A and B are shown apart, each in its own frame.
Chain A
Amino acid sequence: MTAHPDIRPTRWAALAALLTTSVLLTACGSGAGGSDGGSGRAASGGTLTFAVGSDAGCVDPQQVGSNDTIYSVRQVVDSLTDQDPKTGKIVPWLAKSWEVSSDATTFTFHLRSGVTFSDGSELTARVVKDNFDAVPKLGALGTLAEGYLSGVKSTTVVDPLTVKVTFQQPNAQFLQATSTHSLGIESSASAKRTPQQKCSQGVVGSGPFTLKSYVQNQTITLARRTGYDWGSSLWSKKGEAYLDKLVFKVVPEAGVRAGSLQSGQVNAISSVGKANEAALKGGQVTLARRANPGAVFNLALNNSRPVLKDVKVRQAIQYAVNRQEIADAVFPTGTRPATSILARTTPDYENLGTDLAFDAVKAKSLLDAAGWKTGSDGIREKDGTKLSLTVKWFANSATNQPALELIQQQLKAVGIDIVLKELQISQIASVQQSGDFDGLWGNLTRADPDILRTLYSTKLANAYRLPTSPLDTALTRQAATTDTAKRKELAGQAQHLIVRNAYVIPVVELQTQLGVSKKVHNLDFDASSRIQLHDTWVG
């Protein structure tokens, strides 16, 4: 359940884009051949240089939540399981098999033998216990990892290669959680270090690469782990990784990243926004895209506000938003309008596209029926109150402001006034806690439908003040079942209930877009739309 700090808004981004576009188009106009620069045969060796936009100031996979850093630190650790990006299925990695109790409270993992960490120590049940005992202590420093293990009763060593994790209440999401970078397994010695030490000095993992050096705000360098032989069951290459070295350079300016890729100074870049696409077209570059699983970009309503307690008003907002227009105007090419509260890459996603179709006429008639009459200024009013909503948002993505300004126009067309208010990301906790908003803009990445329970169960934080309803039952039950068909049905029900009741307004999917040189092969997205580099080669 992380996010994408990805496309940070910078004052220079637009200008950079403009420059890159104009200059590079002329510079590279003749170079476009679309030929695959490689030899076509996978070969070991070489270095991949990857430019990312930011540095989280921390190289501990259990603590970082920012894509730019996950890309590198993910390669240092293995997880108990892996998740197939195509099917969402959980498959073996460090655990060769597992059992989940029928009430989804107890998870028993049978570990692979012969796995070693880069400090020479061996993977045992004890190591896993040390990790899972340390993670809850991270608290707010590792919100993702800590959240996955919340309600853990105990982790016990059954035998040297069998470990059992028990929860106080059903927790079906935990199996998927073991596949994430956040619960990547570190050596015992590493797990016992303080969070600050792990951040600045890095961690010892059993992954296909090891951390060689970390220069803050500058570079993260990884080297191939020799003797690596316990890759995920999803990977095509057995044994060690192809690449000798991975160099992650921090290049904050989007235009400089694009130009560096186009001029061959780096092999791949993160966060390609719409503005830089033109500059990268036609060269020796492909744009790799995948929608992030989890909750799509949405306008989460404060359901305790008197005006928004009326389902007709909420549905009117839902119908008044023209999602296709927003996706086309603001987001990278290929971004899809939301067709559920979950993105289509999320396991158990259900297509509710017809409920989310744009219909301004219907929006207006719903508002009429709810007693909101158009005033002299075009804004609707009822009993002397204007239909005006304050939407708060955070400047953690460059697309937020233009997307919301478009929504503002679209809603104005049906007589709803939207006041936009920008906040610092550091205010998020206090805003959610106080409920001082009519609408809150955001998204949340997670490749498991349980994200809906995290966000919308009235039994948890309930930041959007939903009323208790059958939705709670569906969310609680999906967390308590291990039957995949049953869970899919319940997750589907939950999506229906959220969309039909318009508790939140789904808008567009978040799409991760990378720029990759055509010399680079098999740079693949994992189920969470981040990358694995074990199978990647340059040629």
Chain B
Amino acid sequence: MRGYVIKRVAQAIGVLWAAYTVSFLVLDFLPGDPVSAMAGAGADTGQVDPAQLAALRHQYGFDKPILVQYADYLGKAVRGDFGDAVSTGRPVTSTLADALPQTLQLTGAALLLAVLLGGGLAVLATYTSQRWLRQLLLSLPPLGVSVPTFWTGLLLVETFSFRLHWFPAFGNDGIRGLVLPAVTLAIPTGAQVAQVLAKSLLTALDQAYVETARAKGAGRWRVHLRHALRNASLPALTVVGLLVGQLIAGSVVVETVFSRDGLGRVTAAAVTAQDIPLVQGVVVFGALIFVVTNLVVDLVYPLLDPRIVVASGRKAGLA
């Protein structure tokens, strides 16, 4: 088990470094730079003195050779210092720390809804003996996956905020403000959970052990939930690990539509401003969340299915 974890952590560090480096290169290849983005902001086609831009570039160290900049940034990043955001002058780490709780609330609520709704739908669709109901339920997930998030978001705002006045249209105020964005984000996520879980439930229900359970006199619900679901949930769990990444990406759109503060908004603003330190911080942070989630998912597998051996050591597999 220990060897396995060490190997996975080493892999994770590799992923983080790759994400850091690739995003740095992409930002460098983009035309323009954070300093001219800052000077040009708002002054649509005004004239900016090139000498002043050069002075500002020097002040921020953007005039150094790209490899030196990369080494500087990386050296500090390793020590947890991502520098200050160019566009605001605030430290990147505190900018992210401020935004994180909002996004965690949003993605957490969305994930919970997604698993409950998506899981519930899959179980119901596979349990029902009504052919038409099963067809209907199974046709919902493809719809949920294909409808664009911003469209669902705007539709929900129109209906439940502008017309019915049940929820606010923007902002981070409490649970009421969380409902619409969380539902918006949960729809495509829940749909994917439902698709995968329904498929694997149907497969599991064809397995011999299900026959055995039935022969032993287990009730339909018991067979469905206790025997089939437990085995069928493994692929769904893998998907959930991947979905965490999608949720974070989805928060860019959802937080913009609902004017919510959070990592998504920070990301959108940072990319627009070509704010290299801030974008780098977001990328590393996002990669970190993704890596950790997937590590956790991998470690949970054996708890669900004792046949899965995660470790290099034989003993650990039985743990």
Contacts and interface: CB of A to CB of B under 8 A. Distances in A.
B252 to A, nearest CB: 11
B155 A19 contact: yes
Given A67-B42, A200-B89, A461 B47 contact: yes
A455 interface: yes
B232 to A, nearest CB: 37
Interface string B39-63: 1111111111110110110000000
A252 B35 contact: no
A423 B48 contact: no
B172 A66 contact: no
B160 to A, nearest CB: 11
Interface residues of B, number: 57
A424 interface: yes
A140 B162 contact: no
Interface string B254-285: 00111101000110010001100000000000
B206 interface: no
B43 A3 contact: yes
A263 B166 CA distance: 11
Contacts of A361: none
B175 interface: no
B266 A426 contact: no
Interface in B14-38: 30-38
B131 interface: no
A199 interface: yes
B49 A256 contact: no
A441 B89 contact: no
A24 B30 contact: no
B49 A461 contact: yes
A429 B259 contact: no
A394 interface: yes
Interface stretch (A56-64, A110-118, A225-233): A56-64
Interface in B154-201: 154-155, 157-159, 161-163, 165, 168-172
A444 B150 contact: no
A23 B265 contact: no
A253 B259 contact: yes
A55 B261 CA distance: 12
Nearest to A199: B89
B4 interface: no
Contacts of B56: 139-141
B88 interface: yes
A430 B258 CA distance: 36
Given A58-B88, A140-B39, A3 B46 contact: yes
Contacts of A463: 47
B76 interface: no
Interface in A217-276: 217-218, 249-253, 255-256, 259-260, 262-263, 265
A427 B269 contact: no
B87 interface: yes
Interface in B230-266: 256-259, 261, 265-266
Interface of B: 30-50, 52-53, 55-56, 84, 87-90, 95, 150-151, 154-155, 157-159, 161-163, 165, 168-172, 256-259, 261, 265-266, 269, 273-274
28 contacts: A12-B150, A15-B151, A55-B269, A57-B273, A58-B88, A139-B52, A141-B56, A143-B49, A200-B89, A216-B90, A218-B171, A253-B257, A259-B161, A260-B169, A262-B162, A265-B169, A265-B170, A397-B44, A424-B32, A424-B274, A426-B274, A429-B36, A429-B48, A430-B36, A433-B50, A444-B43, A460-B47, A461-B49
Q: Which 9 A-B pairs have the closest CB atoms?
A: A442-B45, A426-B32, A196-B89, A66-B42, A65-B42, A3-B44, A426-B37, A140-B52, A140-B39
